[in-house]
Amino acid sequence: MLLTIEINGQQVSSKRGETILTVLNRIGVKVPTLCHLSNLSPTGACRMCVVEVEGLSHLVPACSHQVEEWMRIHTHSPRVLKARKTLVELLLANHPDDCLYCDRNGTCELQELSEELQVRERKYMSRNKPVQIDKACPSIQRDPAKCVLCMRCSRVCREIVGVSAIDAVGRGSHTRIGTSYNRGLNFNACVRCGQCIMVCPTGALTEKKSIQQVIEALSNPDLYPVVQFSPTVPAAIAEEFGLKSSKDILNLLRAALKKMGFRQSFDASMAADINIMEEAALFLDRLQKNTKLPLLTSCCPAWVRYIEVFRPEFATYLSPVKSPQQIMGTLIKQYITSSAGVKPGKVFVVSVTPCTAGKSEAESNGSETRLVDAVITIRELIRMIRLLGIDISNLDPEPADSAFSISSSSGRLFGISGGHLEGLIRSINFMSSGQELSPLKINDLRGLKPKKEAKVRINKQSVNVVAVSGLANAIGFIDEIANGRENIHIVEVMACLNGCINGGGQRTGTDEKCLKSRMKALYDIDEEEMVKVAHKNPVVNELFEKFLSGPNSQRNQEILHKTPLKTSAI
């Protein structure tokens, strides 16, 4: 139902049930927000978006208050501006004055707010509370001193991720974001997905940095540093440096990595191809024996951690194949560099991923030696590129320096929810029938929906597959399975909503527009790439011949399957 309201003297039509903020956004009036996130439930906690409604004694939050027929709204009246400014001043009173040293200097929303509202002096005395930085977790670091208690992290953790690893504790000015029993992130339900970092407006939540370690390795003449990067890295780098996301960007990235001092760079999509081959064979085996179905994919370390910690009863359904990052690490350390004559102990493998959980995964892989020595997020890579003075836009693109960098577009599709499944089905179909799937593209598995279901015919058999992203959605789905939903064959899970394109290690300031362009970049590659299926990747086939054995063989299991871990929440 349409109704007319008045905003700053202008007649505006709006729908019943809309929030004031929705209407304001539509007509181009910007009110500052802090706790608001479009895909989370509004809480109206920060009060930054308050507006004046004639006839009401107090100001109302635009984000959670719905429009009503009679409303005459003032969004920037003196009373409103004074209130907003005071609120920011109150937040700043307890906030450390160390912007220059902060991880988020320049990208901090609190900085933005105080600039916007022209806060120019410290009006209120601070009561400095001693706080401890929680840095035991290999993926995520928390600095409670910088927290403004907008509760975005705790809401993401509850509503999108579904584990509630962090939430508010204490009352009044003693309120803080805490972990269970105050034992820190390393000893609680956290699955390390890093979505909390993505929504944190300040520098309270950051990834645990490995930049220093990588720089030291790069300058250590005794080491042989190599790098692998995930399929979504090129697009993000293009965004950050204002480059066109084309095929060239891959080679520009390679050039930049070379300039940084990496001796070789590998595209982890190749390892994704291997992952597909192994998993396809494994699935056909399970399908034939009709056991351990549905197959749950295991390329997302946050999801794997969730199953290990919360739902061990599902662990047998989980694919035992290592994630692409770990497969790449294995291959580099055990085959590629040694065949090039480098001593295994000297190789230092760095992985660039949009994933904070990858850091934890590399640390605890079950074997004694590390397969990946350091994992850096895309944010860290961007910092390193800047730190090392690399002007990426003026570099000459450099082709792949190793044969092992060839990958199919199926491997690239790992970067988006549904993509892994799509590549997997292509190879399953080929392995089982000897023919290519036609058409190769599975439209049901594409797009930014959190849950995508598809029914495909493979060798006269109907196979039902589901791709779920956002761990909370995945939890809901496996609950469905636990409650008796049958006839599902493969479930692909990505803990971050829409998969790695929205990973916890992605660029700061990722929004829906970014997601769409990153998605498009990956789908475009699938259109343009010659090799679209893993089983046609010549390097993979060569590896299977020379180093590995046939898919799902004893030898492959030894090398490519992971050692099961025992983890618990507390």
Partner 1 sequence: MPTQAITDNRAFLVEKVIKNYSGIFDASTTERVAVIRRDKISRPVIYLGTGTSGSISGAKATLGKINSYLSEARFSADIIEVGCTGFCSAEPLLDIQLPGKTRLSFRNVTEDKVEDILNSVFHHTLPDDHILGQYKQDGLEEWPNIPMLEQISWFSLQRRHILKNAGIISPASIEDYIVRGGYKSLYKTVLNYPADKICEIIEQSELRGRGGGGYPTGKKWKVALDTAGDQKFMICNADESDPGAFMDRAVIESDPHRVIEGIAIAAYAIGASQAIIYVRTDYENSLKILEQAIGQAKDYGMIGEDIFGSGFNLSVSIRQGAGAFVCGEETALLSSLEGQRGLPRSKPPFPAEKGLWEHPTVINNVETLANVPGILENGPGWFKAVGTKSSKGTKLFSIAGKSVYTGFIEVPMGLTFSTIISQIAGGVKDGRALKAVQLGGPSGVCIPPADLETPLDYEALSDKGVNLGLGGLIILDDKTCMVNLARYFIEFLQNESCGKCIPCREGTSKMLDILEGITKRPKEESTHETLERFKGVVQLENLASVIRDTSLCGLGRNAPNPVLSSLKWFREEFEEHIFDRKCSAGVCHDLRSFYIDVDLCNGCNICQKKCPENAIVGSLKMPHFIIESKCTGCAICFDACKFSAIFFK
What is the contact surface with partner 1 in residues (CB under 8 A)?
42-48, 50, 58-59, 61, 64-66, 79, 82-83, 86-87, 90-91, 93-94, 123-125, 127, 148-149, 151, 167-168, 170-175
Min. distance of Cβ 219 from partner 1 in angstroms? Answer: 46
Tokens, residue 403: 């044969």
Burial letters 203-219, b for 16+ CB under 10 A, else e:
bbbbbbbbbeebeebbe
Min. distance of Cβ 95 from partner 1 in angstroms? Answer: 10
Rounded CA gap, 78 and 82, in Å? Answer: 6
Answer for the pair 427, 544: CB distance below 8 angstroms, yes or no: no
Q: For partner 1, which is the closer residue by CB, 164 or 517?
A: 164
Q: For partner 1, which is the closer residue by CB, 86 or 567?
A: 86
Q: For partner 1, which is the closer residue by CB, 49 or 382?
A: 49
Phi/psi region, residue 30 (left: phi>0; alpha: psi -120 to 50; beta: rest), is beta
Angle formed by the axes of helices 269-289 and 419-433, to 10°?
60
Q: For partner 1, which is the closer residue by CB, 42 or 354?
A: 42
* Helical ranges in 388-466 per DSSP H: 409-412, 419-433
DSSP 491-509: EEEESSTTGGGG-TTS-TT
Min. distance of Cβ 125 from partner 1 in angstroms? Answer: 6
Min. distance of Cβ 188 from partner 1 in angstroms? Answer: 17
Q: How far is CA 226 from the centre of its chain?
A: 23
Q: For partner 1, which is the closer residue by CB, 84 or 305?
A: 84
Rounded CA gap, 307 and 116, in Å? Answer: 44
Tokens, residue 499: 């998969």
Min. distance of Cβ 29 from partner 1 in angstroms? Answer: 19
Rounded CA gap, 32 and 511, in Å? Answer: 17
Min. distance of Cβ 456 from partner 1 in angstroms? Answer: 38
Q: For partner 1, which is the closer residue by CB, 89 or 542?
A: 89
Min. distance of Cβ 451 from partner 1 in angstroms? Answer: 23
Q: For partner 1, which is the closer residue by CB, 58 or 244?
A: 58
Kindly report the CA angle at 195 between 191 and 200, in degrees rounded to 5? 130
Give bridge partners of residue 66 from the DSSP assignment. Answer: 19
Min. distance of Cβ 204 from partner 1 in angstroms? Answer: 15
Min. distance of Cβ 506 from partner 1 in angstroms? Answer: 28
Q: For partner 1, which is the closer residue by CB, 17 or 28?
A: 17
Q: For partner 1, which is the closer residue by CB, 174 or 244?
A: 174
Rounded CA gap, 28 and 35, in Å? Answer: 20
Instruction: Give me the phi and psi of 169, to 5 degrees please.
Output: -130, 160
Q: For partner 1, which is the closer residue by CB, 47 or 441?
A: 47
Min. distance of Cβ 116 from partner 1 in angstroms? Answer: 16
Q: What dihedral do alpha carbons 433, 434, 435, 437 form, nearest 10°?
A: 60
Answer for the pair 48, 69: CB distance below 8 angstroms, yes or no: no
Rounded CA gap, 147 and 24, in Å? Answer: 28
Tally the residues of the chain: 570
Answer for the pair 20, 60: CB distance below 8 angstroms, yes or no: yes
Min. distance of Cβ 504 from partner 1 in angstroms? Answer: 25
Rounded CA gap, 534 and 482, in Å? Answer: 32
Q: For partner 1, which is the closer residue by CB, 148 or 300?
A: 148
